[in-house]
Structure 1
Amino acid sequence: MARSTPTYTPAGKYVLGGIISTALLIADLNYQTFSAARSLTQASGIYTQLILGNIIRYTSKITATFEDKKDLIATNQKLRDELLHIQNKMFIAQQSELTFNNILDVQEPLQGKLEDESMQSFKIASFDLKNYLCCSSHTLYLRNPNKFDIAENLPVSNGHTFIGQTLGRDLNLVKVILLSDASHILPIKIRDFYCNARGAGRPLEIKCVAPRNSESSNLEVNDLALSSGLGGVFPNNIVIGKISSIIDNNLDETEILIRLNGDPLQQNYFGISLGL
């Protein structure tokens, strides 16, 4: 195997290189020949440090802002949930007071006023949104971590009005049927007109069907629909919604469509009075 022959470098080249290096060093020491280059290098290093420092500070600021925003969102959600909880408590308390006063008008109650403990607020656990938007079955489930014994046919509120009634318990969940469910019937009154309004199977809508030229002939769009108190589930005179349209069909009947006030999609908490 052949070996490469080492290249011979004359000693004079090393001597010449040493002389040139010494001359440059002496020139720099005496005349600051390379001071500009050194200053440029130092300045470049300083600017690099400043840029990196700004990037780090900016990144830290963005991170801190993001964390603050997360905390603010969490706090806002907590306050919103607490407000909904309080609204439901107040609404149910008002309805309990009305019920109690109605009892007093008829007979002496066997028990005292409804205790505050009977007014409970429940957080939503599940909502079948697909069926709610497309089909006739409108139900939701509420969490029941304290395992309250929830009976059937208790009115359920959203803090402003009623949105449905209980269908009992499934494990630690409370099943609720909404007023708009096609199988739900709600006794209502509009002026002097009374009817059993059935859920229309569409979001936020119930309907009444009455013979043409009955009391319904005096009704108008935007008339308020109130609970009549009949049926034994919902208290009397609670505003449920208002008339959205009046249609005369081909069967000598008038169909009255009512848009509900209570939107279940706008709430995380719903109120139930266990003694209402």
Structure 2
Amino acid sequence: MAHLSSEHKPLFAPETAASIRLFICAVLSVALMTVDHRQHHLEALRNVLATSIYPLQMLAQLPYAAVDWATETFESRAALLAENTRLRERQLFINAQLQKLTALEAENRRLRGLLESTVNVAAERVLIAELIAVDFDPYRHQILINRGSQNGARVGQPLIDEHGIVGQLSHVNLTTSSAVLITDLSHALPVQINRNGIRSLAVGTGRFHELELPNIPNNGDIRVGDLIITSGLGGRFPRGYPVARVTRVEFDPSRPFAKVFAQPTAALDRVREVLLILDDIPDPSRGEKPAPLPEKSERVAAPPAKR
């Protein structure tokens, strides 16, 4: 019995030793925290320990960094292609919008020029019209506009743009009208030289950039660069509108008349909108008749073929 009791005597000794060690560690920890908090004597030791365990921290983060790198580097080709397609479509959309804005800006400039040209229109009423078709026959310079009799259009009414005379209406429907340009081979209008008042006719040559002024004597005072304006004769075109500028004068002593060529001031091959002059034009429905015209002056051709 004495032997058994001696074997079971240190039953609680390990627990007591552990408690003592725990108490000592707690006291030591409190002492270290107090010293560190008040006097910061352990800052250097903390830095050394942090530096020494930094490689271990990096080693622990290495698997996560490797996974992120692999995910970003080896992203699926389908996802990249899809993103590339979306970006390309977005770029095309933006470019299309930019082109539309550029076209609107150009149209705005043209309309503003037309409105500013009305300053030169004294008492005439004007109406803006837009081209909807062009006759591509090289021998017929004719256009179709989106204004008709319901808008007040009548045969013979002149068309202008911001630079000068474009032509005149040759056929009028209810909602559309056909017009012949001043460069058409069948068209001629009374004009005068703005510098000295010499009168003549501006006859179409079939070329958008050239008119001819026949029957000007060789001794006529006409120079390259002279501005040609409407004379107001004939009762169709009001007086004072720019028509063309003289570009070439050929004097032939064997002939009584010089050859004079001029370039229209209006952009006949690029015009998109025109001004239709509504006033001072005779109305056939009320029995009004235009004044007698010179021979071949202001002849009107048949309406253009629609596109």
Q: Which bracket does the TM-score occupy, shorter chain normalised? A: 0.5 to 0.7
Higher normalized strand content (fraction of residues): 1
Amino acid paired to 2:205: A
* Matched residue, 2:25: none
Q: Which has the larger radius of gyration?
A: 2
Deviation at 1:176, TM superposition (A): 0.9
Fraction of identical pairs, as percent? 16
RMSD between superposed Cα atoms in Å: 2.8
Amino acid paired to 2:202: A
Query: For 1:160, what is the secondary structure of its paired residue?
Result: coil
Determine if contact 1:241/1:261 at 8 Å carries over to the other structure.
yes
- 2-side partners of 1:119 and 1:180: how far apart? 22
Deviations 1:99-158 (A, max 9, x none): x3xxxxxxxxxxxxx6xxx421111111123x2xx32x2111111389413111111112
Corresponding position: 1:196 with 2:196: no
Deviation at 1:183, TM superposition (A): 1.4
Q: How does 1:75-94 map to 2 (within 5 A)?
A: 75-92=101-118, 94=120
Q: How does 1:174-193 map to 2 (within 5 A)?
A: 174-190=177-193, 191-193=196-198
Structure 1 spans left out of the alignment, 5+ residues: 1-39, 101-113
* Change beyond 3 A, Cα 1:225–1:145: closer
* Matched residue, 1:222: 225
- 2-side partners of 1:47 and 1:149: how far apart? 71
* Matched residue, 1:123: 130
- 2-side partners of 1:273 and 1:239: how far apart? 14
Q: How does 1:49-198 map to 2 (within 5 A)?
A: 49=75, 52-92=78-118, 94-95=120-121, 97=122, 100=123, 118-129=125-136, 131=137, 134-135=138-139, 137-144=140-147, 147-190=150-193, 191-198=196-203
Determine if contact 1:88/1:158 at 8 Å carries over to the other structure.
yes
- 1-side partners of 2:245 and 2:191: how far apart? 11
Determine if contact 2:149/2:172 at 8 Å carries over to the other structure.
no
Query: For 1:72, what is the secondary structure of its paired residue?
Result: helix
Deviation at 1:207, TM superposition (A): 0.9
Amino acid paired to 2:126: M
Amino acid paired to 1:256: V
Query: For 1:264, what is the secondary structure of its paired residue?
Result: coil
Amino acid paired to 1:128: D
Structure 2 spans left out of the alignment, 5+ residues: 1-65, 281-307
User: Number of aligned pairs?
Assistant: 213
Determine if contact 2:183/2:211 at 8 Å carries over to the other structure.
yes
- 1-side partners of 2:149 and 2:159: how far apart? 18
- 1-side partners of 2:192 and 2:232: how far apart? 9
Deviation at 1:258, TM superposition (A): 0.7
| 1:253 corresponds to which of 252, 257, 278 | 257
TM-score normalised per structure 1? 0.67
Query: For 2:233, what is the secondary structure of its paired residue?
Result: coil
TM-score normalised per structure 2? 0.61
Deviation at 1:53, TM superposition (A): 4.0
Corresponding position: 1:274 with 2:278: yes
Amino acid paired to 2:198: F
Corresponding position: 1:265 with 2:269: yes
